[in-house]
Amino acid sequence: LRHLVVVLGDQLDPDSAAFDGFDPARDGVWMAEVVEESTHVWSHKARIALFLSAMRHFAQALRARGWPVEYHRLGAHDFHGLSAALADTLVRRRPAAIRMVRAGDCRVEAAIEACAVAQQIRVGRVPDTHFIATEADFGRWADGRRQLRLEYWYRALRKRTGVLMDGATPAGGQWNYDQQNRASFGAEGPGWVPEPVRFMPDAITREVIDLVEARFPTHPGSLRGFDWPVTPAQAAEALDDFITHRLASFGHYQDAMWTDRGWLYHSRLSAALNLKLIDPMTVCRAAEQAWRAGMAPIAAVEGFVRQILGWREYVRGLYWRFMPGWLDDNALDAHVRLPSFFWTGQTDMACLRQVIEQTLATGYAHHIQRLMVTGLYALLLGVAPRQVHAWYLAIFVDAVEWVELPNVLGMSQHADGGRMASKPYVASGKYIERMSNYCRHCRFDPGEATGETACPFTTLYWDFLARHRARFAEHPRLALQVRNLDRIDPDRLQAIRAQAAALRGQ
């Protein structure tokens, strides 16, 4: 065997550079389903099913090209982890080299490299053309900068790719349309929103669903409504559906939340993107095309492109620059245990109940639900960052460490002390009241910080500012919040802090 092309579950890119020059007579593809990848965090059943179904569809498509694929199915072998399964193949087949693109997770990458070294087989790592920028591009941009701010990276990529550019000028004349975006639905609510296209499980997915129910019965989440795209063709259809029906209102309502309305105007493309069933540049170009064709306003399209060309590429650059050290960061010295209701949704707090129940049912929550409901609660409570990280990595269908970890440890938990987000995203229950209708169905009052009906977010918000006052008093973007803290009467603050201590003791 000349090249063993190793394809991991989040590398299902039919155009991967790992296949360049593939010769079916001399090369082979290797894929494996192993228990460890579903259990190293307590994975949502839909996350496991999505990966396995998409992998099986991908192997089928490669075989249809006439390519040899050595595919290890869960249950058909006894290997617990990837490296044991790979070692067995390397011993048997002695390829001259492994070819692969970078893994989406440091842990997996290290395991494969160690396995190859032990077998004295070279790993030829090829550039991952799925991403718009390479790690080296990011490194060149980041070197010598004191602060690595998304906005400047995003602008650099807009210029380099020409996406939403008219020559050297940003399309529409501005780089950023946030002021027109991020509205709430007001008192009336969202009204009718076109439902996203759903993909009913085919025979492969049904088989995988039965396998997951049988092998991982105690894992969190439900498979009842499983409808995620599992092939490139389905991902393309999901993109088309989003561009045609929801993109135009994406920006305006991107931060809004509403009871029992999980998707709203979001694209639901993250899982397909992260498994590489669809190319991010294709997605950005389709959105740009919609604007140029007059189908969507510039504010919506720019807001959407910013998420993919900006945030997605930015967090990937940060991940490889700062891992593995990032995992141990705990700048705010947070040590509380993750509340057990994160795994069940059983809490009186309506916002958390809604978001967690939705996540258990679907494996999905949109950005603000993740950042300003579950993430905010963990941050205000002072949950140990590693536990928050393990929950996010387990519970979302789109969770792969390179994208999950910076969002959780950097953006949401401020565990890195501000490397990524210049300030912690802290707010009281009033923010949730403004951006959703959750508080209307809650026994707590977002305006109250003490007493029976006090909103735990509001109580913990003041306590958070008091606990970290020294750190943030001079912070340009938090000083105002600290000044409001200082206006609270000392006796009242003491009562708030006593109530917060009770919440933190759980």
Q: Is 442 in the site for ligand SF4 (CB under 6 A)?
A: yes
Q: Is 349 in the site for ligand SF4 (CB under 6 A)?
A: yes
Q: Which amino acid does the sequence have at 203?
A: A
Instruction: Write phi, then psi, for 499 (nearest 5 degrees).
Output: -65, -40
- HEC letters along 273-302: HHCCCCCHHHHHHHHHHHHHCCCCCHHHHH
90-98, 319-327, 349-357, 365-373 -> range binding ligand FAD (CB under 6 A): 365-373
Partner whose footprint covers residue 274, from ligand SF4, ligand FAD, none (CB < 5 to 8 Å by kind)? ligand FAD
Figure out which of the listed residues 351, 360, 478, 503 binds ligand SF4, where binding follows CB under 6 A. 351
Figure out which of the listed residues 408, 426, 432, 493 binds ligand FAD, where binding follows CB under 6 A. 408
26-34, 117-125, 260-268, 434-442 -> range binding ligand FAD (CB under 6 A): 260-268
163-171, 235-243, 425-433, 484-492 -> range binding ligand SF4 (CB under 6 A): 425-433
Q: Is 426 in the site for ligand SF4 (CB under 6 A)?
A: no
Q: Is 429 in the site for ligand SF4 (CB under 6 A)?
A: yes
Nearer to ligand FAD by Cβ, of 378 and 496: the residue is 378
From the list 375, 393, 397, 75, the residue with the least C-alpha distance to 222 is 397
Q: List Cα–Cα distances, 176 to 305, 312, 463, in angstroms.
A: 11, 17, 34
* Cα–Cα distance, 87 to 91 (Å, whole number): 6
> Token pair of 453, please?
């009906």
CB of 255 to ligand SF4, least distance (A): 15
**Cβ-contact 321, 139 below 8 angstroms:** yes
Q: Is 339 in the site for ligand SF4 (CB under 6 A)?
A: no
Nearer to ligand FAD by Cβ, of 286 and 315: the residue is 315
Q: Which amino acid does the sequence have at 362?
A: T
Nearer to ligand FAD by Cβ, of 115 and 257: the residue is 257
Tell me what percent of the chain is helix, strand and coil, each rounded to the nearest 5: 50, 5, 40
Where do the H-state alpha helices sit in 45-197?
45-64, 82-93, 106-118, 135-142, 150-161
Residues of 487-498 as b/e, b for ≥16 C-beta within 10 angstroms? ebeeeebebbbe
CB of 262 to ligand FAD, least distance (A): 9
Q: Which residue has tokens 């910076």?
A: 406
78-86, 263-271, 465-473, 477-485 -> range binding ligand FAD (CB under 6 A): 263-271
Residues found near ligand FAD in the complex (CB under 6 A): 266-270, 273-274, 307-308, 311-312, 315, 366-367, 370-371, 375, 392, 396, 398-399, 403-404, 407-408, 411-412
